Amino acid sequence: MPKRDSGNGGGGASSSTLYNRLAVLRAERVLSRYQLAEAVGVNYQTIGYLERAEYNPSLELALRLAELFELPIEAIFSRAPLRPMSEELYAPDRDRALPST
């Protein structure tokens, strides 16, 4: 079944999966799906569909989410699977030279 656009009055169907960090961002901010939906002006079920990658957001909805979380869109959504935040935040710095022994 193709993915559908979930924004209010959004565009057409899309068959590509759009990965996201919505569940993690929502949990970090202790927001329910209902609270997040109210904040961005959609039905709470839309948030569930987005988190499960069952629907893709409209550009307008993606922008509203980015503004709410104060993050660039590409930090929330990606066409490729996203690495865990712990990997991105706490991965060893491979560019740093190791101390000599």
Q: Is residue 90 part of a domain?
A: no
Coil, helix or strand at residue 73: helix
Q: Is residue 35 part of a domain?
A: yes
CATH of the domain at 59: 1.10.260.40
- What is the domain range of residue 27? 4-8+15-78
The answer to whether the pTM exceeds 0.85 is no
Q: Is residue 84 part of a domain?
A: no
Q: Strand 4-5 and strand 55-56: pairing? A: parallel
Q: Using H for helix, E for strand and C for coil, what is the string for 37-59?
A: HHHHCCCHHHHHHHHCCCEECCH
Q: Is residue 59 part of a domain?
A: yes
pLDDT in tens, 6-19: 444 444 444 588 99
Contact status, residue 8 vs residue 41, Cβ threshold 8 Å: yes
Distance (Å, whole) CA 21 – CA 27: 10
pLDDT in tens, 27-49: 999 999 999 999 999 999 999 99
